[in-house]
Chain A
Amino acid sequence: MEIIKTETHFDFVKLMKPAVILSVAVIVIGIASLILHGGPNYGIDFAGGSLIQIKFQEEPNADKIRSALKPAGFEGSIIQKFGPKEVIVRTAESGADPKGLTSRVDEALTAAFGKGAYEVRRIEVVGPKVGKDLTKKAILAIIFSWIGILIYVGVRFEFRYALGGIIALVHDVLITITFLSVFDKEFDLNIVAALLTIIGYSINDTIVIFDRIRENTRKNIKMSLFDCINVSVNQTLSRTILTSLTVFMVLVVLFTFGGAVIHDFTFALLVGTVAGVYSTVFIASPIVLLFEKIKPSGMKKRK
């Protein structure tokens, strides 16, 4: 079967302006959300602190847990539900006395709930030094991957294409961060991994269209870049939808069945994948077009 039977002739280029406006609007919402929340919701990987995942035999009551942990000194801790009968306790202290932390929690919980009524499933303690280290590394990784891709695309195509690609990537990262902030998801190492994956996936997408544009501009010397882009997007539409569909399918399954530990990770990937396709079609190409108005592309002459 075919979703798209014959060559389609949508005028994508016309839709670019409203699309860009939509993107900008979403990003503005994101910035507002970030300001409202006082910055991104940093997980312990970046802010430092401790995280304890506890599974209870009976569905736990957050208040009961909080009062149980108070004598152990967990006043300012955040308690979040993390799947059925499971809870995550997060505090800012990372243990000048790390061995003390675990046993204090154990004592407090045993006192309140009884020995077998709970199970500590996971503990993560990140000292402030490491937290700062990881934050730096994360930002560098994202920036350097942008630069690396910029160079590669610039070499294989033209600089304007590289620029278009990069702006699309930055767009994707911003959109993903917007959604994460609006839904108050935590920023941890996994999220950064998701962002890098989104970058990789989005540029993958973008290059497929650029490749088509390159082929068409060489084949049809008389056609304007405007029309070339339109034709290229239409030609690759089938493939774009298909691949996005399969990836989206997989992510939805992972999101639903993958469990709580990678839940936020898959959420970020879901948002990013959609943003990636969107940016490929509506953001990357307008940039190229913009440059065309300033200075015509040298692509046609190259052979």
Chain B
Amino acid sequence: MFKSIRIRAALTIVICLAALVYLAPTLTSDLLPEIWKNYLPTDRIHLGLDLQGGMHLVLEVETAKAVESTLERTVGDLKENLMDKRIRFKLRERTKEKNVSFEFPDAASRDAFDKILKDEYPDLETATSEMVEGRGVVSLKIKDKRAVEIKKLAVEQSLETIRNRVDQFGISEPEIIPQGADRIIVQLPGVKDPARAKNLIGRTALLEFKLVDEEHSLDDALKGNVPEGDIVAYESRLDRTSGRRSQNPILLKNKSLLSGDALENAKVQIGDRFGEPHVSIKFNAQGAKDFDRITGENVKKRLAIVLDGTVHSAPVIQERISGGQAQITGSFTMEEATDLAIVLRAGALPAPVTILEERTVGPSLGQDSIDKGTWASIIAGILVFLFMVFYYRWTGLIADVALAMNMLLLLGIMVLFKATLTLPGIAGIALTIGMAVDANVLINERIREELRLGKTPRAAIEAGYTKAFLTIFDSNVTTLVAALFLFGFGTGPVKGFAVTLTIGIVVSMFTAIVVTRIIFDYFVWNRKIQTISI
């Protein structure tokens, strides 16, 4: 099959046409006819963020905190359990490692505690156990295996939550991918307000409802005597006239009566009085029941709505609320209210998230880069084209045909594999133009040598290709090795460079060896040319 010129030529033409078909959408923008859209590929070449503009974030999920908060919650539950069962214990001050310590006055309580721990709390285990002044002191931690599970779950949930948030924010083609054990990569092409997007993605958004402690003295607490089970939080209030935000301290009971996961929906609504936006929330069935009970038990007390540790408002419960609905007010702008609603709907992040890396490219720079890159490549291409003809004459022209085909195939393959084109990638394409010529040069120089030795054109061509092949193979494989490492090491734009380089090298081997051979053979065998212009 490979001897026949016709078959080889036909195959090559088919491949080229296929490449053209894949490239058409990119080159013609919206001019494709309807029929095309049904049967043929419509993807345009995928541009990297540095060319289309957008934001790239690397987030780290603080999985340790997820384990910590699970520990806190479980221990809180355990405390209530012990109190219900009337087992005597005392909570000790936090040890250095922030483990919770229980102190037992006698062996009986200690034994009862141990039994409850074993029976009802499979995730906890004792971290340390010692005797202090005749009393048993035990500190607890989460079992290692369970801790690993919690961490994994935290990352998965974070991924899901961030996806939800980004979805509602309305970015087309976002990419949210995990990386390693606890990192998440977020790519938002074409994002118009990167600061807002970052805020939306990065906030933990933990909503909690806590009672205000009006029995104890706030001043005392501020001086350092925080009553047991209480916490000092701050309410952020915006003074409408001066526009300044003030932070007012408030004493809350630490126990979270209800949290954000009890919500079914959250919507932005405009208030009647001042026309200002607030977020209206609706609890799910269980949440509504709980809310009903809480408000019923605490009429005339103040309930604080806490978001990420900051108190938004702490209205007085006028009466029992059984409808399962509430409002979060607090001097929002429309944007802030919308984002809060999004974040409440999508859910809280199970653990806080830090932004490790951010790269944002504005669309104008992206377009600039495309323009400059494309122009430079075209100029370089023309230069090389002309040079080849100048130096090798007709054979140079053949090499140019191979070069053109090279570019076509390179871009077509990129569309086919949905590879990303970046600015260094465009440089890589230009580089491929320069390097692709190499294979042709090797072959041509060989042919020249053979001709000098006195061989006929046919024999010279045969010998030239055979001898050059091994050299081309060896040298290109080693370049591929380097490109492979580049691919593994690089991120974003650099990866794009590695991809175009790799595809470019492979394609150039094909065009140089197979395609130019077809043309040579055609002229020598079919047209029986006696001398070659080389």
Contacts and interface: CB of A to CB of B under 8 A. Distances in A.
B401 interface: no
B489 A196 contact: yes
Given A98-B198, A196-B486, A196-B489, A259 B372 contact: yes
Given A141-B489, A207-B478, A259 B360 contact: no
Contact of B479 (A203, A212, A269): A203
Given A123-B359, A145-B485, A243 B475 contact: no
A236 B444 CA distance: 12
Nearest to A125: B358
B335 to A, nearest CB: 14
A246 B441 CA distance: 10
Contact of A98 (B355, B375, B434, B438): B355
A149 B483 CA distance: 11
A294 interface: no
Interface string B426-462: 0100110111011001100100110010000000000
A262 B424 contact: yes
B452 to A, nearest CB: 8
Given A130-B356, A239-B442, A249-B380, A141 B427 contact: no
B362 interface: yes
Given A148-B481, A208-B442, A250 B380 contact: yes
Given A53-B365, A124-B359, A127-B356, A141 B383 contact: no
A39 interface: no
A261 interface: yes
Contacts of A199: 482
Secondary structure type dominating chain A contacts:
helix
Contacts of B15: none
Given A99-B195, A121-B361, A247-B435, A141 B479 contact: no
Contacts of A248: 434
A132 to B, nearest CB: 11
From B434, B441, B470, name the one whose CB has the most chain A CB atoms within 10 angstroms: B434
Contacts of B355: 95, 98, 125, 127
Contacts of B423: 261-262
B482 A145 contact: yes
B384 A121 contact: no
B361 A243 contact: no
A138 B383 contact: no
A200 B494 contact: no
Interface stretch (A13-21, A73-81, A185-193): A185-193
B91 interface: no
B58 interface: yes
A197 B431 contact: yes
Interface string B381-396: 0011001101101000
A253 B380 contact: yes
B424 A254 contact: no
For chain A, give the interface size range: 35 or more
B86 to A, nearest CB: 47
A247 B431 contact: yes
Nearest to B373: A258
B269 to A, nearest CB: 27
A141 B488 contact: yes
Given A192-B489, A196-B489, A253-B430, A259 B441 contact: no
Contacts of A212: 471
Nearest to B428: A197
Contacts of B483: 196-197, 200
Contacts of B286: none
A144 interface: yes
B376 interface: yes
A46 interface: no
Interface in A190-229: 190, 192-193, 196-197, 199-201, 203-205, 207-208, 211-212, 215
A180 B427 CA distance: 19
Contacts of B199: 99
B434 A247 contact: yes
A204 B478 contact: yes
Nearest to A237: B445
Interface string A275-287: 0000000000000
B477 interface: yes
A152 B483 CA distance: 14
B194 interface: yes
A251 B467 CA distance: 29
A8 interface: no
B489 A140 contact: yes
Nearest to B382: A253
B358 A121 contact: no
Interface of B: 50, 58, 60, 194-195, 198-199, 202, 354-362, 364-365, 368-369, 372-373, 375-377, 379-380, 383-384, 387-388, 390-391, 393, 423-424, 427, 430-431, 433-435, 437-438, 441-442, 445, 448-449, 452, 467, 470-471, 474-486, 488-491, 493-494, 497-498, 501
3 closest cross-chain pairs (CB), A and B: A200-B482, A141-B489, A259-B372
